[in-house]
Amino acid sequence: MEDIRIGIIGHGFMGHEHEKMLTVMDGYRVVGISDIDLKQLEDVKEGIKRYHSNEELFQDPEVQVVLIAANNNQHHDLALQAARAGKDIICEKPVAMNLEELDDMMRITRECGVRFTVHHQRRMDPDFCTAKAIVDQGSLGDIYTIKSSLYGFNGNMHDWHVYIREGGGMLYDWGVHLLDQILFMMPEAKLTNVYADIRNVINQEVDDYFKILMRFDNHITAEVELGTYYLTDKMHDKWFERHWFIGGNKGSAYLDGFSPEGKIVRTAGLLQNAGDKRTMTAAGPTRSFGPPPDGKILTEPVPEVNTNHKDYFENYRKAYWGETEFLVQIPETRRVLALMDAVRESGRTGQSVIFEA
């Protein structure tokens, strides 16, 4: 089967990552790369074209698929230009700045008859895939809470991410991934209510902290929290990486780190409610808090997963040749953007927002 011929727009961090990955993967050939800052093209690998403009890339008949890795506020216009040039499109996240832009992109790509998907590669993160496997296997019983968190120590962001006009801020950068993961984890559940607290802790213009609470009709409350300046000296549990906590009525599970370490945790047995009987423990008049007695806490290993970001492009190659469906469907990304709109509304008003009533 012939290679899929890719043209990359934007040679910043993600453009470099795409170049590095796709040039060593079977089934792909990077034809060329464009960037409005020509200095960004100085380290393009030998044998790959360096376009002096995006228009030059669009007009190259060798390019079949345009991979848009430019600033967030450029995605809409670049996608429309690519579609009108007859190119299939992979767009970096967030696919658009708002629903109006995405609906326009959907209409034009449909009219032009080109394929259109989004690079939500963090659906293949090992920590997320492990958490999803725990939920899917049902061993925790009726799940009531899922918490996903990511903490950092530097506070400040870089490059165009510090400007609202460019689509900067953590909600657009990481929030779109974290929300997509929660929705992808429970695709059949209806999200009824959303509450969000969004802050500028260190940065003057863009958000760098958020806590988002989501209530689903399956009675699960999901919490997503991100802080770029969320400090501790507890390095043993990979604090400045990813964390998951999943709670059910038959046990809990925790995961720490991008390459996750964690366990499923249960109790050896539950005490019966004592009613009017007065009880005392070393921790005081309680039977739920304080140090548990020896043998009370039991642990099991979490499921093993073997996923990485290359799996996104393995799926894309198979879907491109009609062997399967694209991992990321545009209606899914539209739901994420709608959720981000609700998050911003809640953050602005301080009120819970009804989402899918």
Task: Examine the domain organization and report whether 88 and 48 are in the same domain.
Answer: yes
Which residue, among 133, 135, 126, 131, has the nearest Cα to 250 in the 3D structure? 135
Taking the alpha carbons of 156, 158, 164, 167 in that order, is the dihedral positive or negative?
Answer: negative
Give me the pLDDT at residue 158, please. Answer: 73
Q: Which residues share a beta bridge with 251?
A: 248
Among the three residues 52, 87, 119, which one is the final residue of a domain in this structure? 119
Cβ proximity of 256 and 123 under 8 Å: no
145 and 284 both lie in a single domain: yes
Q: CA 51, 53, 58, 64: dihedral to nearest 10 degrees? A: 30
Summarize pLDDT for 71-94 with one digit per residue, the tens: 999 999 999 999 999 999 999 999
Q: 105 and 127: one domain?
A: no
Residue 242 sits at φ, ψ, to 5 deg, of: -85, 150
Nearest to 135 by CA among 125, 145, 126, 123: 145
My answer on whether 113 and 158 are in the same domain is: no
- Select the more confidently predicted residue: 251 or 273: 251
pLDDT tens-digit map of 251-272? 999 999 999 999 999 999 876 6
156 compared with 333, residue with greater pLDDT: 333
- The CATH number for 212's domain is 3.30.360.10
Which residues are within 8 A (CB) of 303 and not within 5 positions of it... i.e. 6 or more apart?
Answer: 130, 133, 134, 137
pLDDT at residue 236 in the model: 81
267 with 296: CB under 8 angstroms? yes
Which ranges constitute the DSSP H helices of the chain? 13-22, 54-58, 75-84, 99-112, 126-137, 170, 176-185, 310-320, 330-349
- Pairing mode of beta strands 65-68, 88-92: parallel
Which SS3 state, helix, strand or coil, does residue 122 take?
A: helix
Please give the pLDDT value at position 283.
58
160 and 166 in contact (C-beta within 8 Å)?
yes
Residue type, 116: F
311 burial level (CB within 10 Å; 0-12, 13-18, 19+): middle
Domain final position from 96, 119, 142: 119
pLDDT of amino acid 81 = 98
**Contacting residues for 206 by C-beta, under 8 A, at least 6 apart:** 157, 161, 162, 163, 164, 168, 169, 170, 200
Domain-ending residue, one of 73, 98, 119:
119
Question: Are 60 and 207 in the same domain?
Answer: no
What local confidence, expressed as pLDDT, does residue 259 receive? Answer: 96
State residue 245's pLDDT score: 98
Q: Label residue 48 by pLDDT band (50, 70, 90).
A: very high
Q: Are residues 155 and 257 in the same domain?
A: yes
Our count of domains for the chain comes to 2
**Is the entire prediction scored with pTM above 0.85?**
yes
What is the domain range of residue 293?
A: 123-307+339-349
Concatenated DSSP letters for 46-99? TTSEEESSHHHHHT-TT--EEEE-S-GGGHHHHHHHHHHTT-EEEEESSS-SSH
- Looking at residue 286, its pLDDT comes to 58
Q: Is the pLDDT of residue 274 over 60?
A: no
Tell me what pLDDT residue 291 has.
Answer: 81
pLDDT digits (tens, 9 = 90+) for 192-247: 999 999 999 998 899 999 999 999 999 999 999 999 999 999 888 899 999 999 99
What value does the mean pLDDT take over residues 273-293?
Answer: 65
